[in-house]
Amino acid sequence: MDIIKVSSRSRSTAVAGAIAGVVREHGRAEVQAIGAGAVNQAIKATAIARGYLALDGIDVICIPAFTEVDIDGQERTAVRLVVEPR
Protein backbone atom coordinates (compact mmCIF):
# COMPACT_ATOMS: atom_id res chain seq x y z
CA MET A 1 0.00 0.00 0.00
CA ASP A 2 1.40 3.38 -1.00
CA ILE A 3 1.27 6.54 1.07
CA ILE A 4 -1.05 9.21 -0.32
CA LYS A 5 1.07 12.37 -0.44
CA VAL A 6 -0.77 15.68 -0.20
CA SER A 7 0.49 19.15 -1.10
CA SER A 8 -1.07 22.54 -0.45
CA ARG A 9 -2.18 22.59 -4.11
CA SER A 10 -3.92 19.19 -3.95
CA ARG A 11 -7.67 19.19 -4.59
CA SER A 12 -9.28 17.93 -1.40
CA THR A 13 -12.07 16.10 -3.28
CA ALA A 14 -9.55 14.23 -5.46
CA VAL A 15 -7.52 13.23 -2.38
CA ALA A 16 -10.75 12.18 -0.64
CA GLY A 17 -11.59 9.90 -3.56
CA ALA A 18 -8.12 8.36 -3.36
CA ILE A 19 -8.46 7.82 0.41
CA ALA A 20 -11.89 6.22 0.01
CA GLY A 21 -10.64 3.96 -2.78
CA VAL A 22 -7.62 2.78 -0.81
CA VAL A 23 -9.72 2.13 2.31
CA ARG A 24 -12.21 0.09 0.25
CA GLU A 25 -9.42 -1.91 -1.39
CA HIS A 26 -6.89 -2.34 1.44
CA GLY A 27 -8.91 -1.66 4.59
CA ARG A 28 -6.86 1.40 5.58
CA ALA A 29 -5.04 4.36 4.05
CA GLU A 30 -2.02 6.45 5.04
CA VAL A 31 -1.91 10.13 4.13
CA GLN A 32 1.22 12.27 4.47
CA ALA A 33 1.52 16.06 4.39
CA ILE A 34 4.35 18.52 4.99
CA GLY A 35 3.48 22.13 5.82
CA ALA A 36 0.41 23.91 7.10
CA GLY A 37 -1.35 24.19 3.73
CA ALA A 38 -0.81 20.53 2.93
CA VAL A 39 -2.02 19.43 6.37
CA ASN A 40 -5.12 21.59 5.88
CA GLN A 41 -5.89 19.90 2.54
CA ALA A 42 -5.23 16.44 4.03
CA ILE A 43 -7.61 17.01 6.95
CA LYS A 44 -10.33 18.37 4.64
CA ALA A 45 -9.87 15.38 2.33
CA THR A 46 -10.14 12.97 5.27
CA ALA A 47 -13.41 14.57 6.37
CA ILE A 48 -14.79 14.37 2.82
CA ALA A 49 -13.64 10.74 2.47
CA ARG A 50 -15.43 9.92 5.71
CA GLY A 51 -18.65 11.09 4.06
CA TYR A 52 -17.95 9.05 0.91
CA LEU A 53 -17.29 5.91 2.94
CA ALA A 54 -20.33 6.45 5.18
CA LEU A 55 -22.49 5.97 2.09
CA ASP A 56 -21.02 2.44 1.88
CA GLY A 57 -21.61 1.79 5.59
CA ILE A 58 -17.93 2.19 6.50
CA ASP A 59 -17.27 4.38 9.57
CA VAL A 60 -13.63 5.49 9.60
CA ILE A 61 -11.41 7.21 12.13
CA CYS A 62 -8.23 9.25 11.63
CA ILE A 63 -5.12 8.68 13.73
CA PRO A 64 -2.58 11.54 13.39
CA ALA A 65 1.15 11.20 14.05
CA PHE A 66 4.40 12.99 13.29
CA THR A 67 7.03 11.30 11.15
CA GLU A 68 10.45 12.28 9.82
CA VAL A 69 11.01 12.13 6.06
CA ASP A 70 14.14 12.70 4.01
CA ILE A 71 13.72 15.13 1.09
CA ASP A 72 16.81 15.92 -0.97
CA GLY A 73 19.08 15.06 1.93
CA GLN A 74 17.17 17.18 4.46
CA GLU A 75 15.06 15.76 7.27
CA ARG A 76 11.56 17.25 7.38
CA THR A 77 8.74 16.67 9.83
CA ALA A 78 5.55 15.45 8.22
CA VAL A 79 2.09 14.73 9.55
CA ARG A 80 0.92 11.21 8.79
CA LEU A 81 -2.78 10.38 9.04
CA VAL A 82 -3.86 6.75 9.28
CA VAL A 83 -7.46 6.37 8.12
CA GLU A 84 -9.07 3.06 9.09
CA PRO A 85 -12.47 1.62 9.95
CA ARG A 86 -13.69 2.08 13.50
37-47 pLDDT, tens per residue? Answer: 999 999 999 99
pLDDT at 58 > cutoff 90: yes
Let me know how many helices (H) and strands (E) the chain has, helices first. 2, 4
What pLDDT score was predicted for residue 2? 86
**Cα–Cα nearest to 58, from 30, 31, 20, 26:** 20
The answer to whether 8 and 40 are in contact (CB under 8 A) is yes
- Averaged over 67-80, what is the pLDDT? 95
Give the mean model confidence (pLDDT) for residues 19-45. 96
CB of 61 closer than 8 Å to CB of 81? no
Domains identified in the chain and CATH numbers:
4-85 (3.30.110.20)
Task: Find the mean pLDDT for residues 17-28.
Answer: 96
Give the distance, in angstroms, between the CA of residue 74 and the centroid of all CA atoms in the same chain. 23
Strands (E), the chain: 4-6, 29-33, 60-71, 74-85
6-20: per-residue pLDDT in tens?
999 999 999 999 999
